[in-house]
Amino acid sequence: MRTKRLTTMAILTALALALSWVERMIPLELIIPLPGVKLGLANTVTLFALYQLNLPSALLILIARCLLTALFSGNMTGLAFSLTGGILSMLVMTLARHSRHLSVYGVSVLGAAGHNCGQILIAMILMHSTYIWGYLPYLLLIGTACGVATGAVSSGVLRALGGGKHHYA
């Protein structure tokens, strides 16, 4: 692995961790009291990595971010949620990116939906309860709003920093 790519990935991982931490200061769960509701700012980093680097790099950054967040917070249940949600979200975004009809906004929204489905899936498995899916519509609606927001942020970031492709690789 080239040094430049390694450095870029390390910086992006650190940035994603910082964003997850900043996000915790925004008390979204006070307005919308559902477990697992969050803005998804760290997804900006994932989107950036997907558009500017490649899938393996984006996946590595995601896994590193999830592991480190779990390590810092000591919340191992959270790890199962963030990993399942994150990987499903990345899968959806990778597919969505190849559609010529979608911009980073659509990719972000579909990624958020994938994340929500992953969260519900793991909740159903961990709690041995199928009823949990009753939460899915609410998560999806909030996730869509947050997805548009992160899409806008990503669009701005990519516009400002994204020169030619593999510029950061």
Partner 1 sequence: MKKERSALTFRRGDAVAIAGVILFALALMGYYLFFFSAGEASVARIYQEGQVVRELRLDRDVEFVLEGDFRNVVTVQDGKIAITESDCPGADCVHSGWISRPGRSIVCLPNRVEIRLEGGELTDDDVDAVVQ
Q: What separation, in Å, do the N-terminal and C-terminal C-alpha atoms of the chain show?
A: 10
Amino acid at 102: L
Q: How far is the CB of 113 from partner 1 (least distance, A)?
A: 5
- Tally Cβ neighbours within 10 Å of residue 165: 11
- Compute the least distance from the CB of residue 3 to partner 1, in Å: 25
Question: Are 22 and 41 in contact, with CB atoms under 8 Å apart?
Answer: yes
Decide: is 91 part of the binding site for partner 1 (CB under 8 A).
no
Per-residue mark of binding to partner 1, 116-145 (x: CB under 8 A): -------x--xxxx-xxxxxxxx-xx-xx-
Locate all alpha helices (DSSP H) within 53-103, ordered by sequence.
55-73, 76-97
Nearer to partner 1, 62 or 93 (CB): 93
Task: Report the candidate in 7, 6, 97 with the shortest Cα–Cα distance to residue 47.
Answer: 97
Instruction: Look up residue 139 and give its two tokens.
Output: 């998560």
Which one of residues 73, 95, 161, 166 is an interface residue with partner 1 (CB under 8 A)? 73
Residues engaged in binding partner 1 (CB under 8 A) = 29-30, 33-37, 51, 73, 75, 77-78, 81, 96, 99, 101-106, 109-110, 113, 123, 126-129, 131-138, 140-141, 143-144, 148, 151, 155, 158-159, 162, 164-165
